[in-house]
Chain A
Amino acid sequence: MHRVMPDNPINDRLELVNSPIDFDGLVRFVRADNDGAIVTFDGFVRNESHGRATEYLEYEAYEAMAVTKIQEIAAYLHDKFAIHRVAIVHRLGRLEMGETSIFIAISAPHRAAAFDACRYAIDTLKKTVPIWKKEYFADGAVWADGELPPAPRSSKSAS
C-alpha cells in the first residue's frame, strides 16, 4: 500500500484573487516528480442562467472567512485522500462570459484519490464557503440561488 507523505499544508495554494486565474501556473505548482496524476476543475461563466442570457457576473466574498473555509477543505482533503498538493483559487469581482471563476488542481501519485478529492473540494466549496454570485442580464440582475451552509442548531452543543 502506497502512502503519500502528507505535505505541509503551507505548500498548498489557497487564494481569492481579483484578476484572471493563471491555471497553467497552478497545474505546474501542484505537479511533482513523485506524482502520477493531476485532476483539475475549471469552473467558468456560462452564457445563460435559467434560460436567460447572462451578460456578466459579479462575485463577492466574506474574504477572511472564505479563506478559512477553503483552508479547512484543503486540510480535510489531505486527511482523507492520498493526495500530494492542492490549489484552490476563486476569483472575485466582475467576470465576463467564459472567464474562469474557480480553478482547482490536485496532484496525487494515483488518479483515484485526485478525482475523489477534486470532486469533494468543489462540492463542499459550493455549500460552505461564503462567496456570492450576482447574475447580470440585459434587463436586470439577480443574486443566484445558493445553498444554505449547515450551522449548529444550538450553542449548547457547539464547541
Chain B
Amino acid sequence: MTSVLPTIRVNVLFFGRIRELAGVREEPQEIPVDATLADLFASYSRRFPKLAEFRGSLVASRNQEFAAWDTQLKPGDEIAFLPPVSGG
C-alpha cells in the first residue's frame, strides 16, 4: 500500500421510512476527512438507490442539530437523515 486516504469515523442514525428503506438503525461509517453531509448521503444513495429519491424531502442533523448539507464532518460526529416529522 503506497497511499491510504485519511478517513474519519462518524456514527449514522436512520429513522422512520428512511430507516426502513436502508434497513439500518444505526452504524459507524468511515468517510474521507473532508466529507460533507451531502457526500455521506451520496454514499448511502449508492448503497441504497431508493434513498436518492428522498434527498429533497430530508433534513440532516449533526450532533442533534439541524445542519446544512455542505457541513463538513468531524470525527465522532453523530449524523442523522431525518424524514418530515409527524409527532404530536
> Do B16 and A132 have beta carbons less than 8 Å apart?
yes
Query: For the complex, is A65 an interface residue (Cβ under 8 Å from B)?
Result: yes
Given contacts A129-B87, A148-B57, contact A68 B70 (CB under 8 A): no
Residues of chain A within 8 A (CB-CB) of B41 are none
Tell me what chain A mostly uses at the interface: helix, strand, loop, or mixed.
mixed
Which chain B residue lies CB-closest to A132? B16
* Candidates B57, B58, B68, B88; contact of A102 at CB < 8 Å: B88
Which chain B residue lies CB-closest to A61? B87
Which residues of chain A from 4 to 19 have a CB within 8 Å of any chain B CB? none
> Do A127 and B67 have beta carbons less than 8 Å apart?
no
Query: For the complex, is B11 an interface residue (Cβ under 8 Å from A)?
Result: no
Tell me what chain B mostly uses at the interface: helix, strand, loop, or mixed.
mixed
- Closest chain-A Cβ to B10's Cβ sits at a distance in Å of 15
> Do A155 and B68 have beta carbons less than 8 Å apart?
yes
> Do B82 and A152 have beta carbons less than 8 Å apart?
no
Instruction: Please give the number of chain A residues whose Cβ is less than 8 angstroms from any Cβ of chain B in the complex.
Output: 38
Which residues of chain A from 100 to 124 have a CB within 8 Å of any chain B CB? 101-102, 122
* Candidates A60, A61, A151; contact of B66 at CB < 8 Å: A151
Contact residues of A with B, CB < 8 Å?
Answer: 43, 59-62, 64-66, 68, 90, 101-102, 122, 125-134, 143-156, 158
The 7 A-B residue pairs whose C-beta atoms are closest, nearest first, are A131-B87, A146-B84, A146-B86, A132-B16, A151-B66, A65-B64, A144-B86
Q: Can you list 22 contacts pairing A with B, beta carbon distance less than 8 Å?
A: A62-B82, A65-B61, A66-B87, A90-B87, A125-B87, A127-B85, A129-B87, A131-B86, A132-B85, A133-B87, A145-B86, A146-B86, A147-B85, A148-B57, A148-B84, A149-B84, A151-B59, A151-B60, A151-B67, A151-B68, A152-B68, A155-B72
